[in-house]
Chain A
């Protein structure tokens, strides 16, 4: 039996959905499953890890891990992987996972594939696929010379199973690495949004130039509020200064893969499609029936966003509340 080690992100005492998806894939492979969780409160998720089939947990319930410092995280994770020698290491392709794992991979002289959208584990082998060239095609990942095959999965791609009957989990404390640090985290400035980040969001409402001005984004926030969505934007409105760059979806913004993407007043330029064509269901609301977004959409609504959006929000409210 091989070992699969999952780097699990958590927030407010709960594993993130991406972590549940990875644990589900790991436990269904029949391998021994290990989890790494770093940060204050990691101890409190031990039960949840057990519920998701984790045999052994490495928990750094320690404020030294609260802010992400690549040097500290890389040292801690590399040390665990070097000692445990898993065949496979999994993490979510989040800001943290994408920053950390290439550094750990280089240290372990092993391969890493980020941004994967398909994953099957059989024995000590992985079959993974990932989008290439901004989603214009996909390719299979083939590991060579890699003692640990590192796969970073986009959230929302794999099914998250349900908790199983409680099982025992062996807990190891992760010591804080003692390092001569060259990286200091000086300050974390929290964003205005308490919502899930676009890259993790299950539902996204996005606005483009058709929204006319910054103030009209309120229509999108109102809809998002009702259906529990995160608000995104096209580059045109970011460049116009209506919204910050963190909200941009597309080739030079974020790549998103929600279950539902509602594009409002977005024409569907190829660079925008590059960031969202992996969405399961795409709704386009645009007054121009020939807008390219309709070629990618599942449902198309030819109409004026200023008329349609308030009605849509009201309809959802009726249904959901």
Chain B
């Protein structure tokens, strides 16, 4: 069974975000790009499937400006993916257009049986692409998956939902799964892995080659603003008993939240 892993590149969590002069996006200069943390769980899972013989081959698929997205794909190749596909597109693709292009690229490969993604990307936090790929390909999906077991033409997924409740769902293959933390412990790329990755192929696809409406957006994010400055903290002084009493009073009378 061939496995596809979809990968997004996101700004490193420590990166300071600056808003672009036109206000409709962030200033990309100086940003350190990394693989979306949840996608690391997806890549690790795919490689483990190959190591255990469940998967025959692993293809990493990414979308965005090809030069930088290829770096994240190289990381996946260094971790152990067999080959990769980069769909060259602008920065501002929405979930819909992204999922549509990824679905089309995977479909064109013909033999996909299992598709892994992260449960969400930490940049826009939309949590939409995984389910949309499934819909565009007519496949079942499960998101927020922290455990997978592979059976005959089906996969059993454990998803963590509200209040610590877990749902156990069975999907008939082919299927799409969005990985959550806890699914596995992603490996670091080894030095030999990095060397090997240099020789592996990254196939380039132009967005326009997928379908004529491929870049048509549904949602744009505009008018970016920094959050309003918080007033400085009110420090409560005194011994433990005094501070506890004063805090309760402030929460009741000033903040009025209790």
Contact = CB atoms under 8 A, between A and B. Distances in A.
Interface in B37-85: 37-38
Interface in A121-159: 130-146
A301 interface: yes
A259 B240 contact: no
Given A111-B219, A138-B225, A312-B248, A299 B132 contact: no
B102 to A, nearest CB: 12
Contacts of A74: 135
Nearest to B228: A138
Interface stretch (A40-48, A57-65, A166-174, A177-185): A177-185
A84 B51 CA distance: 49
Nearest to B237: A302
Most buried by B among A74, A190, A200, A246: A246
Contact of A182 (B11, B162, B175, B244): B175
Contacts of B95: 102, 112
Contact of B240 (A192, A308, A320): A308
A103 B144 contact: no
Given A140-B221, A145-B217, A312-B247, A103 B135 contact: yes
Contact of B245 (A184, A185, A247, A315): A315
A297 interface: yes
B233 interface: yes
Interface in A53-108: 67-71, 74, 94-96, 98-100, 102-103, 105-107
Interface string B143-182: 1101000000000100011111111111110010000111
Interface residues on B, range: 35 or more
Contacts, number: 270
The SS class assigned to the A binding surface is: mixed
Secondary structure type dominating chain B contacts: mixed
A281 B142 contact: no
Contact of B165 (A138, A185, A188, A260): A188
A251 B13 CA distance: 8
A272 to B, nearest CB: 11
Interface stretch (B1-9, B123-131, B186-194, B203-211): B123-131
A192 B164 contact: yes
A203 to B, nearest CB: 8
A114 B125 contact: yes
B223 interface: yes
A17 B17 CA distance: 33
A131 to B, nearest CB: 7
Interface of B: 11, 13-14, 16-17, 19, 26, 37-38, 94-96, 99, 122-132, 134-136, 139-144, 146, 156, 160-172, 175, 180-182, 216-227, 230-231, 233-236, 240-241, 243-245, 247-248, 250-252, 255, 257-258
